[in-house]
Each structure stands twice: as structure tokens, then as C-alpha cells.
Structure 1
Amino acid sequence: MKYVVLVSHGQFAKGLANALSMLAGVREEVIAVGLEDGQSADEFACLFQQSISSITKEDEIILLGDLIGGSPLTTALNVITELKMNDHCVVIGGMNLPLALTTVLMKDAFDKEQLVEQVLLEAQGALKELKLEVSEEEDI
């Protein structure tokens, strides 16, 4: 099975998982873990390891993190490396809803390299500036 594992600071990963369930339905292969305020990296590592304990070495992990270089993502990578699961793991930082949704919906349609390419294109394409224009109607 391919698991989508979301890691973040605070409640972002859990909130994103909630939004994903609204758009794509509840998925058992989506796991969300957040580093809470005041929680140590070691405590987060234990929580992360518990959260992915059902994932086997035959499974794949698509790890999405909020910040590249942030404690949740680097700690999660350390745990995955310690468990010797990094050969079956793809990592993307800077997660957002379009990226996560595309990952969940398309993860089984592509191999790892193609999936990364597709989700990054989708996430980048979703970033746009919206300009609000106020129309002024003339009084006659």
C-alpha cells in the first residue's frame, strides 16, 4: 500500500487531513502527525514512529512536510532512516491542499518519480494571485 504521511508544526497536518477527507473521502492510508507547541523532537519522534507502526517495509511512504528543514520533517526522516524504510519513501516539503489532494488521488496511478513531478506541477499551478476589482456604477 502507498501511504501519504503528513507532518507539520502544530495542527496543520491534522487540519489538512480533515480537509482531504472532505474532498476525497476518509482514507486509511492518510496519516497526519503534528509537532505540538512545547513538544520535544524526541517526543515527536516517538509519536511519529507510533503513527507509522502499521506501515511495513513492503509499503511505500509519500511523506509531505510543511517546511523543508523544519523539525517535523527532519525528525520524521530520521525515524524513517532508522527504520530502514527510506528506499520506499518519497519526500516533498512545502505541502499545501492541492499538493496533498493530488498526491492522495494520483498516488496509485504513477511511479514515485512521475508522482512527484505531477504533484509539484499541480501545487505550483494552484498558486495564483487573485485581484479584486470593484466596479463603480455611475449614478444617473
Structure 2
Amino acid sequence: MNYLIMVSHGQFASGLKNALTMLVGDKKECLAIGLEDGKGIDDFTILMKEAICDIHPEDAVVLVGDLIGGSPLTTAMSILSEHGLSQNLVVIGGMNLPLVLTTALMKDTYHGQELVDQVLQEASAGLRQFSFVVDEEEDI
């Protein structure tokens, strides 16, 4: 199976999973784990270990985190490695909804660097500045 694991500070990962479910339906292979406010990394570690208990070394995992170098992402990487899940692991930092949506839809089609290229392209394309234009003509 191919998994998408989202990790974050606070409830960002669970919020993205909620939005993802609204867009593509409930996907059991998409997991969200957050380092909740007031909780420590030990609490996060317990949640992470519980979340990955059904993942096997032959499964592919895409791990996305809110911040590159942040505690949730680095801890999740360590836990996945300790459980022998690093061989088929892709890690991306700086998640947003276009990235997780594309990953959820393409994780069964593309793998490794090809998947990374696809999702990073979509994630970047999802960032745009909009200009608010006011029509100053009045209808008479």
C-alpha cells in the first residue's frame, strides 16, 4: 500500500486531512498526526507509533511536514527509520493543500523522484498573488 503521512505543529495536519476528505473522500491510507499545544515530543512519538502500526517495510510512504527541520517532521522521520520504513520513504517539508491533494491522488501512480516532481510543481502552482481590482464606474 502507498501511504501519505502528514505531520505538523498543532492541528494543521488534521485540518488538511479534513479538507482532503472533503475533496477526495476518506482515504484510510492518509494519516495526520499533530504535535498539539501543551504536549511534548514524547506524546507526539506515541501518536506517531500508533498511527504507523499497520505500515510494513514493503509499503511506500510519503511523509509531509509543515516545517523543514521542525520537531514533528524530524521525529516522524526517526520513527519511520526505526521501524524499517525508510527504504520506500519520500519526505517533503512545507506542506499545503495543493501538495497533499496531489500526493493523495498521485501516490499510487508515481513513485520516488517522479512523485516529488509532480507534487512540488502543484504545490508551487498553488501559490499566487491575487490583485483586487475595483471597478470605479458607476451604473446609472
TM range (shorter): over 0.9
Following superposition, the deviation at residue 136 of structure 1 comes to: 0.6
Please state whether the residue corresponding to 2:23 is helix, strand or coil.
helix
Contact kept, 8 Å, 2:57 with 2:87, in 1: the verdict is no
Residue of structure 2 in register with 1:46 after alignment: 46
Which amino acid in structure 1 is aligned with residue 73 of structure 2?
Answer: L
Helix, strand or coil at the partner of 2:87: helix
Could you tell me how far apart the structure 2 residues matched to 1:120 and 1:96 are? 10
Which amino acid in structure 2 is aligned with residue 49 of structure 1?
Answer: K
Residue number in structure 2 paired with 1:11: 11
* Aligned counterparts of 2:49 and 2:117: Cα–Cα separation in 1: 28
- The amino acid across from 1:122 in the alignment is E
2:104 maps to: 104
Q: Which aligned segments of 4 or more residues in structure 1 are displaced greater than 4 angstroms?
A: none
- Equivalent positions of 1:46-125 (< 5 A) are 46-125=46-125
Q: Cα RMSD between the aligned structures? A: 1.1
TM-score under structure 2 normalisation?
0.96
Change (3 A) 1:139 1:103: closer
SS of residue in 2 equivalent to 1:87: coil
Length-normalised TM-score, structure 1: 0.96
Q: 1:139 to 1:24 in 2, by over 3 A?
A: closer
- Give the count of matched residue pairs: 140
Q: What's the secondary structure of 1:26's corresponding residue?
A: coil
Residue by residue, what CA displacement relative to the aligned partner does 1:93-134 show, whole Å, maximum 9, x if unpaired?
Answer: 000000000000011111211000000001001110000011
State the distance in 2 between where 1:75 and 1:112 align.
21
CA–CA distance in structure 1, aligned partners of residues 43 and 111 of structure 2: 33
One-letter amino acid of the structure 1 residue matched with residue 8 of structure 2: S
SS in 2 for 1:95: coil
Using a 3 Å threshold, how does the CA distance of structure 1 residues 135 and 38 change in structure 2: closer, same or farther?
Answer: same
Unpaired stretches in structure 1, ≥5 consecutive residues: none
- For the structure 1 residues 57 and 125, does the alpha-carbon distance in structure 2 shift closer, same or farther, using more than 3 Å as the test? same
Identity across matched positions, percent: 54
